[in-house]
Copies of this chain bind each other. A is one copy, B any other.
Amino acid sequence: MKLPEIEQAWQGVEKCRRCAIRSLVLFADLQREDFDHIHLPIEEMELTAGQSLYQSNQQGRYVFTIRQGLIKLTHPLANGHYRVIRLLRQGDLAGIEALNGARYLHHAEALQSTLICRIPIENIESLNSNTPHLYQQLTRRWHQIQQDADTWLAKFAQGGSRQRLAHLLLYLAEAESQPAFFLPGREDIGAMLGITTETASRLIADFRRSGFLHTGNGLASIEQDSLESIIAQG
């Protein structure tokens, strides 16, 4: 794990160039020559469930891309609880606000085992001056964040809790190639929907009894049509 700096950098570039999901991440538009000109000390990390990626208000030196897994961004509340602001999934960027020289806005924590790449912000900024390709990707990410924020307000903070949960389950199920998806704990579900843990538990149990939701060994699957009819004032 403690290789010479230059070696490490080279590994990062090599790995990044061959990364199977590179089209999803920040460097999708970079040409071969961009890579050759710049040493990118990109490091892979694996987070176990419950492990923190960064803390709110911490001075940011890295930006992270999620290669696989699920990260929650949370905001502490006055009563000791927390509110989940957003989830990050494959291809999403974490800590992008560090590019402004600003501190991280959230507490970031893995919900399940999660694979990420860590990129120092100084490298992003030097890439920015050398190629316009990166700006486009960054702008796209900002745009994505805005869109996600809208989704969370319009779907997860609006209407009755049954409808909110239906929205959340559909959201979790989408963007998975498999029909099964990771179902967060009741406390996290509550923190995403702005409801209590107990209500979240009651609703999950109810959905399961009604056959809208099936669970097994930590994974879940849904009856899409049923959930959509709940949202449509069912």
A interface list, Cβ under 8 A from B: 75, 77-79, 83, 85, 96-97, 99-100, 102, 105-106, 128-129, 132, 135, 138-140, 142-143, 145-147, 149-150, 152-154, 157-159, 194, 231-233
Establish whether residues A140 and B77, one from each chain, have CB atoms under 8 Å apart when the complex forms. Answer: no
In the assembled complex, the CB of A33 is this many whole angstroms from the nearest CB of chain B, namely 20
CB–CB A150/B106 < 8 A: yes
| Known A78-B232, A147-B105; contact A153-B85, beta-carbon cutoff 8 A | yes
The one of B83, B100, B132, B233 that contacts A158, using a Cβ cutoff of 8 Å: B83
Number of copies: 2
Question: With contacts A75-B154, A142-B145, A146-B149 known, what are 12 further pairs, Cβ within 8 A?
Answer: A77-B154, A83-B158, A85-B149, A85-B153, A97-B146, A102-B143, A128-B135, A142-B146, A153-B153, A157-B194, A158-B194, A159-B194
| A153/B157 contact (C-beta < 8 A), A100-B139, A140-B100, A233-B78 known | yes
- Report chain B residues within 8 Å CB of A83: 153-154, 158
A-B contacts, 14 listed (Cβ < 8 Å): A75-B150, A77-B154, A78-B231, A78-B233, A79-B233, A83-B158, A85-B153, A96-B146, A128-B135, A146-B146, A149-B152, A149-B153, A152-B153, A158-B194
Which residues of chain B are near A145, meaning CB under 8 Å?
Answer: 142, 145-146, 149
Judged by DSSP, the binding face of A is helix
Instruction: Give bound CA distance, A97 to B100, whole Å.
Output: 19
Cα A146 to Cα B143 with chains together (Å): 10
Partner of A100 from the list B79, B143, B153, B231 (CB cut-off 8 Å) is B143
Chain B residues in 8 Å Cβ range of A135: 128, 135
* CB of A140 to closest CB in B, whole Å: 6
Chain B residues closer than 8 Å to A139, beta-carbon distance: 99-100, 138, 142
Collect the chain B residues with CB atoms within 8 Å of residue A129's CB.
132
Top 8 nearest A-B pairs by Cβ distance? A149-B149, A157-B157, A142-B142, A75-B154, A100-B143, A83-B154, A158-B194, A85-B150
